[in-house]
Amino acid sequence: MKIHVITLFPDLFPGPLGESIIGRALDSGVVELYLHNLRDHGEGPHKVVDDTAFGGGPGMVLKAGPLAASIEEARHGTAGGGRSDVPVVLMDPQGERLTQQVVDRFAGLDEMIIIAGRYEGIDERVRQRLVTHEVSIGDYVLTGGELPAMVFIEAIARRVPGVLGGEDSGKADSFASGLLQHPQYTRPAVWEDEAVPEILLSGDHARVDRWRREQSLLRTLQRRPDLLNSVDLLEWEREFLRELGWQS
């Protein structure tokens, strides 16, 4: 998958994306990251990329010209080969809230362009004409879109086939199944007088699977009961939840 990022701060990348699992995905080329410096398309000798808002008010707005030129570069430059159907995603608190479902929708793409916005926003004409999707990583405002872009890329990259080692490890993630993850334990079996649940030492995989599923259901009921309404539950799972007081 090819991911282009348009940013005023390309030196922030790959940053945390350069380490560990995602770092290896970048090294191996399963995920390709292309950075496009908005400043390269700034106007005049000072390479201006922003200006005050028409109508007044504090803060600066990213200008249409440099942004449009950066999108064009991403499309025609390093990787796109002139494709005009590549999604252009603006990181913006006004966007669709990022969830695992949103991540999985984007993880199926072969290429995308991400705009890490700054300041008070971008010229609305670019948003209308060139931006195809807007994504928010949550209901709070950050100074810029670089950290949101990294969060988005990290979440997408780990869903790209071949990025996670064990094929199953992504499937068990919180949210991937629609439920929160079950508790996990590792050695030692007794730590500070506290033993791990005995069933996990039993070697009985069917019973372990059942216990884990029950724990997932319990944890989701306790912490995020709203999620239960969007999961396909088996009859025994519904019964299990009802016994715990779930009212569907």
Q: Are 19 and 32 in contact (CB under 8 A)?
A: no
Cα–Cα distance for residue pair 67/69, rounded to 1 Å:
5
For ligand ADE, which is the closer residue by CB, 88 or 179? 88
Does 80 bind ligand ADE (CB under 6 A)? Our answer is no
Beta bridge partners of 37: 7
For ligand ADE, which is the closer residue by CB, 66 or 148? 148
For ligand ADE, which is the closer residue by CB, 102 or 200? 102
Does 66 bind ligand ADE (CB under 6 A)? Our answer is no
Active-site residue identified among 120, 134, 154, 214: 120
Asked if residue 161 has a cis previous peptide bond (ω within 30° of 0), the answer is no
Does 140 bind ligand ADE (CB under 6 A)? Our answer is yes
Does 61 bind ligand ADE (CB under 6 A)? Our answer is no
Active site residue 219: no
Active site residue 93: yes
Cα three-residue angle 6-157-232, rounded to 5 degrees: 125
Active site residue 110: no
Among 3, 93, 130, 150, binds ligand ADE (CB under 6 A): 93
Active-site residue identified among 66, 73, 93, 159: 93
Does 138 bind ligand ADE (CB under 6 A)? Our answer is yes
How far, CA to CA in Å, does 133 sit from each of 34, 37, 211? 19, 20, 40
Give the nearest distance from C-beta 119 to ligand ADE in angstroms: 10
Candidate ranges 18-26, 87-95, 99-107, 187-195; the one touching ligand ADE (CB under 6 A): 87-95
- Counting other chains too, the contacts that 44-51 makes at CB distance below 8 Å and 24 or more residues apart are 49/8, 50/118, 50/119
For ligand ADE, which is the closer residue by CB, 120 or 214? 120
Which residues are identified as catalytic? 93, 120, 158, 173
What residues line the site for ligand ADE (CB under 6 A)?
Answer: 91-93, 136-138, 140-142, 145, 148
